[in-house]
């Protein structure tokens, strides 16, 4: 951040926010919509915030801090333009319930920095910026290539590979969790996050091997895997306990019945069967969301890896110019991308671009 902005930031009067901390402030500008976004973008770069999204009416950024070498986003700032009225909203990220006035500082700092940036442009510079922005938005400088990189060899999508692999992964993780739960201290939340991460890391290889990228079906697979992991975890716990203690063999149903009767004990507090059920729900939900977010990222990355940037740019250009999907397919065919399967992968990759953006925008 520039020194003058650091100095001004220290003078900002803070307004504290509680609950789900956020702060909104508005101001007016005489700038047109066309030049507002690039000037806002330049302002955000001055503030050392990361731009995560922009369109013709708004731009979003996240402020990042580093602690012990780990980067973490602390606030999300959304700037929206509406016929000269500008709304600046800053929201806390994470689980804090009091922002100590940070959101008000972010919003007011942006407004100050924006007005400074705006003053750097005279009328002639604004006209030039408007022309350049319109050319950029319309891809007017794009040169249509004579040739495109050749498409990859067509590979069949093989969902059964994911099913079989998911089954084996579930049983493996169920056994590992059972071992750790019995022989080590169990931390609610930690194990679930680690299981979710493990699922995504192992599925990453299966997704590439199977060439299967349909998110809805993968979501159903994840749900089944997570249920199987924690169900098999209970079964493996029973087997370990019986074998290590030479207890008389009982059925899995009887084991679960005993678990319900004993309930969940946290230190000296027995929460009963209700606490046990709640802990299982937390296991399922937390693991699912951790795994899902990471698997979606894996899928979108893989979809993008398969398509050369030149092909994505070529396709995007024609969509920007108002071509229909059929017309874009025809243009791709003329450049050697004749197979519907290859063309479908191009469109999937375009969707993955926006999917990546949405993941980054998550608050």
The stretch 172-177 carries a mean pLDDT of 94
Which pLDDT value is given to residue 82?
A: 93
Look at residue 183 in the predicted model and tell me its pLDDT.
Answer: 85
* In the chain, % of residues over pLDDT 70: 99
Q: Could you give the angle at which helices 309-320 and 340-361 cross, rounded to 10 degrees?
A: 80
Q: What is the pLDDT of residues 241-255, one digit of tens each?
A: 988 888 888 899 998
Q: Give the per-residue pLDDT at 361.
A: 80
pLDDT value of position 307:
93
Better-scored residue on pLDDT, 264 or 326: 326
Residues β-bridged to residue 85: 28, 82
- 351 pLDDT more than 80: yes
In this predicted structure, the answer to whether residue 87 has a pLDDT above a threshold of 80 is: yes
Q: What is the pLDDT of residue 278?
A: 87
pLDDT of residue 303: 93
Mean of pLDDT values over 100-114: 93
Statement: residue 273 has pLDDT above 90: no
Q: In the chain, pLDDT over 90 holds for what percent of residues? A: 67
Mean pLDDT of 261-288: 83
Helix pair angle (325-334, 340-361), 10° resolution = 120
| The pLDDT of residue 331 | 94
- Confidence class for position 226, pLDDT limits 50, 70, 90: very high
pLDDT confidence tier of residue 272, bands split at 50, 70 and 90: confident
Looking at residue 249, its pLDDT comes to 87
Would you state the pLDDT for residue 248? 85
- pLDDT for position 326: 94
Q: Model confidence at 298, in pLDDT bands (50, 70, 90)?
A: very high
The three state secondary structure string of 100-148 is CCHHHHHHHHHHHHHHHHHCCCCHHHHHHHHHHHHHHHCCCCCCCCCCC
Q: Is 54 helix (H, G, I), strand (E, B) or coil?
A: strand
Give residue 19's pLDDT band: very low, low, confident or very high (50, 70, 90): confident
- pLDDT value at position 279? 85
The tens digit of pLDDT for each residue in 41-85 reads 999 999 999 999 998 899 999 998 877 777 788 999 999 999 999
Q: How far, rounded to the nearest angstrom, does the alpha carbon of residue 99 sit from its chain's CA centroid? A: 23
Section 293-317 average pLDDT = 93
Average pLDDT, integer, range 85-102: 90
pLDDT for 264 beyond 80: no
pTM of the model: 0.80
Higher pLDDT, 287 or 272: 287
Task: State the pLDDT at residue 58.
Answer: 94
In this predicted structure, what is the pLDDT of residue 274? 85
pLDDT at 363 over 80: no
Q: What is residue 269's predicted lDDT score, i.e. its pLDDT?
A: 72
The pLDDT of 178-205, averaged and rounded, is 89
Contacts of 89 (CB under 8 A, 6+ apart): 22, 23, 24, 77, 78, 79, 80, 107
Crossing angle for the helix pair 102-118 and 3-11, to the nearest 10 degrees: 130
Report the mean per-residue pLDDT for the chain: 90
pLDDT tens for each residue of 325-350: 999 999 999 999 999 999 999 999 99
Distances in Å between the alpha carbon of 205 and those of 152, 170, 222, 229, 302? 19, 15, 15, 19, 10
Question: Domains, the chain, ranges and CATH?
Answer: 3-137 (3.30.310.80), 159-361 (no CATH)
- Position 20 scores a pLDDT of 86
**What strands, in cross-sheet order, belong to the sheet with 85-92?**
22-28, 85-92, 70-82, 58-67, 50-54
Place of tokens 């700092």: 109
């Amino acid at each position: 951040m520039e020194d003058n902005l650091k100095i001004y930031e220290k003078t900002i009067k803070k307004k504290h926010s509680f609950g789900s901390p956020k702060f909104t402030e508005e101001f007016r500008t005489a700038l047109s919509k066309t030049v507002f976004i690039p000037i806002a973008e330049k302002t955000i770069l001055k503030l050392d915030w990361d731009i995560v999204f922009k369109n013709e009416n708004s731009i979003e950024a996240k402020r990042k801090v580093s602690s012990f070498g780990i980067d973490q986003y602390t606030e999300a700032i959304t700037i929206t333009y509406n016929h000269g009225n500008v709304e600046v909203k800053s929201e806390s990220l994470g689980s804090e319930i009091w922002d100590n006035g940070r959101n008000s500082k972010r919003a007011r700092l942006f407004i100050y920095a924006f007005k400074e940036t705006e003053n750097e442009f005279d009328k002639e510079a604004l006209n030039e910026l408007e022309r350049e922005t319109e050319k950029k938005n319309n891809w007017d400088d794009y040169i249509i290539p004579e040739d495109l990189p050749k498409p990859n060899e067509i590979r069949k999508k093989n969902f059964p590979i994911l099913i079989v692999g998911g089954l084996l992964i579930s049983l493996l993780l169920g056994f590992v969790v059972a071992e750790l739960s019995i022989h080590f201290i169990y931390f609610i939340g930690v194990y679930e996050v680690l299981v979710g991460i493990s699922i995504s890391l192992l599925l990453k290889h299966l997704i590439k091997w199977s060439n299967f990228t349909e998110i809805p079906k993968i979501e159903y697979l994840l749900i089944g895997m997570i249920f199987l992991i924690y169900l098999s975890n209970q079964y493996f716990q029973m087997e370990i306990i019986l074998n290590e203690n030479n207890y008389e063999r009982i059925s899995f149903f009887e084991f679960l019945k005993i678990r319900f009767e004993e309930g969940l004990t946290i230190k000296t507090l027995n929460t009963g069967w209700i606490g046990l059920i709640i802990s299982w729900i937390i296991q399922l939900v937390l693991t699912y969301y951790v795994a899902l977010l990471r698997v979606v990222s894996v899928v979108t990355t893989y979809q993008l890896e398969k398509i050369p940037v030149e092909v994505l740019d070529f396709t995007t250009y024609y969509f920007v110019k108002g071509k229909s999907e059929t017309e874009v397919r025809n243009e791709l065919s003329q450049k050697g991308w004749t197979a519907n399967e290859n063309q479908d992968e191009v469109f999937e990759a375009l969707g993955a671009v926006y999917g990546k953006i949405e993941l980054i925008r998550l608050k």
